[in-house]
Amino acid sequence: MLDDEENELSEHTSYAVLAAVRADVAGARVDRLAVTYPADDDNLWFIQRAEGAARVQMGSHPNGQLPFLIESDQHDRRVPAVTVQEAIDVIEGWLLGAHLTSRGPRLGPG
């Protein structure tokens, strides 16, 4: 459970992105990079819908802060997301199979 300070910070961090994706995408699973030493950078998350499905990777600055760098194992695109909503849109679009454009997903007709 997040305390008040963490809750306030989470509105502008990876916590907000991951909470929205979990709520909006059925079966979304999030795994955080497990590091060996406390000084190692663990600001990397892997998100996928089901075993064998496309996996999306989101990296952030320390403490889950913006901007985020979003990538997928399904293509060679890297999308820098400068807002929480932009990160949510890209991740959900890729997980749900939206058409890809140079900036990320394009929802709707071809």
pLDDT of residue 39: 76
- pTM, entire model: 0.76
pLDDT of residue 20: 96
pLDDT of residue 23: 95
Other beta carbons within 10 angstroms of residue 45's beta carbon come to: 22
Instruction: Return mean pLDDT, the chain.
Output: 81
Tens of pLDDT, residues 27-61:
999 999 988 887 777 899 999 987 667 899 999 99
Tens of pLDDT, residues 78-110:
999 999 999 999 999 999 886 444 344 444 433
The amino acid at 28: A
| DSSP, residue by residue, the chain | ---HHHHHHHTTBHHHHHHHHHHHSTT-EEEEPP-SSTTS---EEEEESSTTS-EEEEEEEGGGEEEEEEEETTSS-EEEE-SHHHHHHHHHHHHTTPEEETTEEE-S--
